[in-house]
Amino acid sequence: MSTETKSKSEVSSLKGGEFIIRTTDPNSVFTPEEFNEEHRMMADMAHEFLVQNIYPNLDRIDAMEPGLMASMVDKAGELGLLGVSIPEQYGGFGKDFLTGMLMTEVLGAGHSFSVAMAAHTGIGTLPILYFGTPEQKAKYLPKLSTGEWKGSYCLTEPGSGSDALAAKTKAVLTPDGKYYVLNGQKCGLPTQVLLMCLQYLHK
């Protein structure tokens, strides 16, 4: 096995923080110098969004002003920031992994807004994009990409912490299709968010 082949094999099997101690192929690493003009333009747009909308409102955000964070997510949706990784057929930009990574890096400087943003675009939307049925994608992704519907991920439970595989809470649709019956426990705010999401998704 050649050195190059071995390195690429090692790269594909790296887990967690193994990149710190294992040999990797330099050709598999990208640097800022490789960003093209489109990458830089989108990064600039994301940074300008933070400058205009987030940084001037940090005190209001920290005070958890009702409706403020949702309005910020709406503004991000208007610019297309929520749909960077969503295919064009569902109302997104359909950009590659590198673009999505760069946007996440830039918007990560947005204080607590970056948490709401990541929850919506990451754990709230990507599972539907990756694992949803065609019907689910057509129903949810267009509204998630604009921010009309907000995505979230209600994980923490008293008996399992943040162990997703140990979660017990279930939402079961009633036979008449009008309501969801929740059985289980979530800690604090996630319960309220879960109820809001169910209301959105049932519209």
82 and 175 both lie in a single domain: no
Residue 29 within a domain = no
DSSP β-bridge partners for residue 182: 171
73 and 109 both lie in a single domain: yes
Give the pLDDT of residue 21. 85
How far apart CA 185 and CA 158 sit, in angstroms, is 7
139 and 169 both lie in a single domain: no
Report CA dihedral (15, 161, 201, 97) to the nearest 10 degrees.
-20
Neighbours of 117 (CB within 10 A): 23
140 and 49 both lie in a single domain: yes
Residue 90 within a domain = yes
Tally the domains of the chain. 2
178 and 119 both lie in a single domain: no
53 and 119 both lie in a single domain: yes
How far apart CA 194 and CA 33 sit, in angstroms, is 42
- 73-81 contacts at long range (C-beta below 8 A, 24 or more positions apart): 73/116, 73/117, 73/120, 73/147, 73/150, 74/147, 75/49, 76/49, 76/117, 76/147, 77/145, 77/146, 77/147, 77/148, 78/146, 78/147, 79/45, 79/49, 80/145, 81/45, 81/46, 81/49, 81/107, 81/117
135 and 94 both lie in a single domain: yes
| pTM score of the predicted model | 0.69
Q: Which amino acid is at 146?
A: T
Residue 28 within a domain = no
47 and 139 both lie in a single domain: yes
State the first-to-last Cα distance of the chain, in angstroms, to the nearest integer.
57
Give the pLDDT of residue 186. 73
Domain range for residue 131? 37-146
Instruction: Please report, in tens digits, the pLDDT of each residue of the chain (203 residues total).
Output: 444 444 444 445 667 677 788 777 766 666 666 788 999 999 999 999 999 999 999 999 999 999 999 999 999 999 999 999 999 999 999 998 888 889 999 999 999 999 999 989 988 898 899 999 999 999 999 999 999 999 877 788 888 877 878 888 888 899 999 888 888 877 754 444 555 555 544 44
CATH of the domain at 118: 1.10.540.10
Residue 95 within a domain = yes
Phi, psi at 172, each rounded to 5° = -115, 125
72 and 170 both lie in a single domain: no
Q: Which amino acid is at 164?
A: A
Residue 91 within a domain = yes
142 and 42 both lie in a single domain: yes
